[in-house]
Structure 1
Amino acid sequence: MSWHDEIEVITVADAATAARLMQEVGADAGGIDLMLPKACFYCLKLKDVPARAANILKQEILARGGEAAMAAGVAGWSVDKTDVLIFATRRQLELLVAKLPVQGFGLDKLAAGIKTTLANWERNDVREIGCPRGPLVLGKRTLVMGIVNVTPDSFSDGGQFYDPGAAVEHAHQLVAEGADIIDVGGESTRPGHEPVSAAEEWRRLEPVLTRLTREIKVPISVDTYKASTARRALEMGVDIINDIWGFRADPEMARVCGQYQAAVVLMHNQEGTSYKDLMFDILTFLRQSIRMAEDNGVPPEKIIVDPGIGFGKDLDQNLEVMGRLEEFKVLGKPVLLGTSRKSMIGRTLDLPVDQRLEGTAATVALGIARGVDIVRVHDVRAMVRVARMTDAIVRRKKGSTR
């Protein structure tokens, strides 16, 4: 074979990969800095852009060597607004952002939005979330959240840990197996579940949390969407509030979490499975939840997002979200993924709840490869092994995976 026949196509996922590739071929350090913005390519999607702004946007990105796709009627003014896809390198976007502020029609705000979006997308640092039991370090390795259901009707364990003593013992076992966080829930959220009162939820949680807050060293999360339960748990010293409704179910939840400066998990959820644009709608929901949290005093660095696999989504929608998990990077927040034993796996593989370990492992590995920071699981020992093996492949440049 001759040199002109031996060609390799390499996926350049981020600037770090591009820099490494250039270093490997011996490029000059100064040259690498100059070439990096040209080595990273992006596709940005905008929704409902006014036609006049869209026309200007197309002209400006074309002038810089990029491209913009939009509705055919924009050029002839037969549509009032359009979605827009921008195709450009990092350098082309930098030039675009420098020009847009003088154009009017809201393009100055778009320039700021593009800058923020790219900063979030390219964030690749190690960060910490402060917790009473010690910080959660994100970015070096995937953290594993172990599930403890203090309910009589959990879909996954059938109430096996409804007894407080059994629940505490199980939490200790999960920590011994490698759990970095323990997530305790007092109300089942499986499809078709019967909601319980705040009083009943706390009756289930209190004896378990009383012991766990004294006995275990890893951060404790409480899975609740009720502000009164969150307040009691935070008073007791728990570290994280995990809200499956992203602060939408109880108008007091954001204020309570802000008052206690709590770390929070904000999950996407909705009634029904109707979407105009699946990923865009989910991202919009989570952006609004983040804004609610920050406006009520939750420290921005303590916010985690969850795409909500199995909630308000049918099978095809869940699979699509799984295939596009990296898109949640635009939010600039750590991402938690909860797929353990869920119906997406059961329906795909035609397996009952107690036979979904391999399917869970596949989703955990895929999620880590696509950038999630925390996985919420039942089978901690097995999923710690899956996470460490996957980390060894995808996080090897960020520090220890042990």
Structure 2
Amino acid sequence: MQAYGMRWVTLDNLREAKMSLTEIGSDAGGIGHMAGKGLGRGIKLEQVPLRVAHILKQEMLSVGGDAAVHRDVITNNVNATDVMLLGTVRQLEHLATKVLAQPFGLKKVGHDLKQLLTFLEPPKTRILNCRGKELKFGERTLVMGILNVTPDSFSDGGRYVNIDDAIAQAKRMVEEGVDILDLGAESTRPSHESVSAEEEWHRLEPVLKALLELVEVPVSIDTYKASVAAKALEAGAHIINDIWGLQKDPDMARVVGEHQAPVIVMHNQDGTNYHHLMGDIFDFLRRSIERAEAHGLSGDQIILDPGIGFGKTTEQNLEVMARLAEFKTLGHPVLLGTSRKSMIGKTLNLAVDERLEATLATSVLGVVAGMDIIRVHDVQANRRAVQMADAIVRGQRGIHYVGA
């Protein structure tokens, strides 16, 4: 009996759906109408007022989808509920349009839903101006190289305290194809000893000024102290990497805003208690985004970091890794930093100097999930791994067929 070559086709976004329909020979007008019907999405809204939840449920059913709510919504025994919108991209687009005219804040829901659906599509190539240096997003995964001029960093503490050693390592990473150098002068490993802003700048200043003369790639400064960031930017640094997401030092957002410096905002917290792991991380990052935007930064100038290894157990880190693609819905570039971290050591029972292969695995997973930057110690190995992964996952599905 004829089986007609039945198989499952992976469709993760509208571009892939359109290419697959083009391969069949579908009419151009029909492709635009049908592409979104093959893409299922689950969109979660948290703590939605009861009357809004009822409307969303009704409207999703009316467009052929559904909305999951708390079981007590039907009896009105809760004041608010999380809502999971379940439908195709096409159905969710219809919902967004319908609720734009609804009361009770649903206009914003419609607007945000339309925007979120665009964030789930492959990003276009664009240029970020880093105070005179340029980074290109969307074409490939960028590699940030870690350069610690600290005596006590968890992986390479003490190796590059000497300025000549630091410069030699920076040159080596540039030769290996690094896109950004990330210079840090205070260890952020668990139980690290804090240093004063004066000591941090004392360590940073000579290396930073030498690098700015010697390398062409942007130089990022890994600091959460506004006074250190200000001095570094005045000296010519291009990016600030804040492990506390502009929420530790109240002046940091003002400093990066005044200098129009792109900023990496990382999720962090004391302890590992969460109400909802991903929801709490998103809430933190949204506050960071709001602070950056309040001081004039926007779009690609705000780079997000999920904070692997910070304020999370090994199990929580692994869950975040499994859900990296969700961070794209916040609408900003995303950086992944897993290099040699304890998540790897505890999962595989490996010492710090034995974690390269596992780091490469996480870097490749980052590419698959759509990360824009990976932050690593071993530039050449990671650059090759992500280059291969990029060649596979960026825009390859559906481009090779008879008649193309």
**Could you tell me the TM-score, scaled by structure 2's length?**
0.96
One-letter identity of the residue aligned with 2:382 = M
Give the drift of 1:114: 1.1
Alignment of 1:179-258 (within 5 A): 179-258=178-257
Aligned to 1:329: 328
Give the drift of 1:396: 4.5
Aligned to 1:272: 271
Aligned: 1:2 with 2:2? yes
Aligned to 2:58: 59
- The SS at the match of 1:65 is coil
Tell whether the 8 Å contact from 1:241 to 1:265 is kept in structure 2 after alignment: yes
Tell whether the 8 Å contact from 1:133 to 1:217 is kept in structure 2 after alignment: no
Hey, what's the Cα distance between the residues in 1 that align with 2:246 and 2:347? 31
Hey, what's the Cα distance between the residues in 1 that align with 2:281 and 2:55? 28
Aligned to 1:47: 46
Aligned to 1:282: 281
Give the drift of 1:353: 0.1
Aligned to 1:86: 85
Aligned: 1:295 with 2:294? yes
Structure-2 change in CA distance of 1:396 and 1:73 (3 Å): closer
Aligned to 1:77: 76
Instruction: Name stretches of at least 5 consecutive residues in structure 1 with no aligned partner.
Output: none
Give the drift of 1:99: 2.1
Tell whether the 8 Å contact from 1:258 to 1:299 is kept in structure 2 after alignment: no
Give the drift of 1:280: 1.3
User: Which deviates the most, 54-63 or 183-192?
Assistant: 54-63
Structure-2 change in CA distance of 1:158 and 1:134 (3 Å): closer
Give every structure 1 segment of 4 or more consecutive aligned residues whose post-TM-superposition deviation is greater than 3 Å: none
Give the drift of 1:299: 3.8
One-letter identity of the residue aligned with 1:320 = E
One-letter identity of the residue aligned with 2:97 = A
- The SS at the match of 1:86 is strand
Hey, what's the Cα distance between the residues in 2 that align with 1:226 and 1:283? 23
One-letter identity of the residue aligned with 1:385 = R
Aligned to 1:122: 121
Hey, what's the Cα distance between the residues in 2 that align with 1:2 and 1:232? 72
Give the drift of 1:397: 4.8
Hey, what's the Cα distance between the residues in 2 that align with 1:72 and 1:210? 61
Hey, what's the Cα distance between the residues in 2 that align with 1:84 and 1:335? 26
Hey, what's the Cα distance between the residues in 1 that align with 2:172 and 2:44? 45
Hey, what's the Cα distance between the residues in 2 that align with 1:215 and 1:102? 57
One-letter identity of the residue aligned with 1:375 = I
Instruction: Name stretches of at least 5 consecutive residues in structure 2 with no aligned partner.
Output: 398-404
Deviation digits for residues 144-181 of structure 1, max 9, x if unmatched? 10000000001011311111221111111111111111
Aligned to 2:107: 108
Tell whether the 8 Å contact from 1:46 to 1:84 is kept in structure 2 after alignment: yes
Tell whether the 8 Å contact from 1:261 to 1:299 is kept in structure 2 after alignment: no
- The SS at the match of 1:85 is strand
Aligned: 1:355 with 2:350? no
Give the drift of 1:7: 1.8
One-letter identity of the residue aligned with 1:387 = V
Give the drift of 1:345: 0.4
Deviation digits for residues 112-131 of structure 1, max 9, x if unmatched? 22122222222521121102
Hey, what's the Cα distance between the residues in 1 that align with 2:158 and 2:312? 25
Hey, what's the Cα distance between the residues in 2 that align with 1:380 and 1:97? 43
One-letter identity of the residue aligned with 1:280 = G
Aligned to 1:38: 37
**Could you tell me the TM-score, scaled by structure 1's length?**
0.96
User: Which deviates the most, 315-324 or 116-125?
Assistant: 116-125
Aligned to 2:374: 375
User: Which deviates the most, 159-168 or 244-253?
Assistant: 159-168
User: Which deviates the most, 371-380 or 109-118?
Assistant: 109-118
Give the drift of 1:55: 1.2
Hey, what's the Cα distance between the residues in 1 that align with 2:343 and 2:222? 21
Tell whether the 8 Å contact from 1:133 to 1:218 is kept in structure 2 after alignment: no
**Aligned-pair Cα RMSD in Å:** 1.4
One-letter identity of the residue aligned with 2:3 = W
Tell whether the 8 Å contact from 2:335 to 2:374 is kept in structure 1 after alignment: yes
Hey, what's the Cα distance between the residues in 2 that align with 1:118 and 1:196? 44
Hey, what's the Cα distance between the residues in 2 that align with 1:171 and 1:192? 27
Give the drift of 1:91: 1.9
Hey, what's the Cα distance between the residues in 2 that align with 1:280 and 1:121? 18
Hey, what's the Cα distance between the residues in 2 that align with 1:146 and 1:341? 13
User: Which deviates the most, 159-168 or 351-360?
Assistant: 159-168
Identity of aligned residues (%): 54
- The SS at the match of 2:44 is strand
Give the drift of 1:137: 0.3
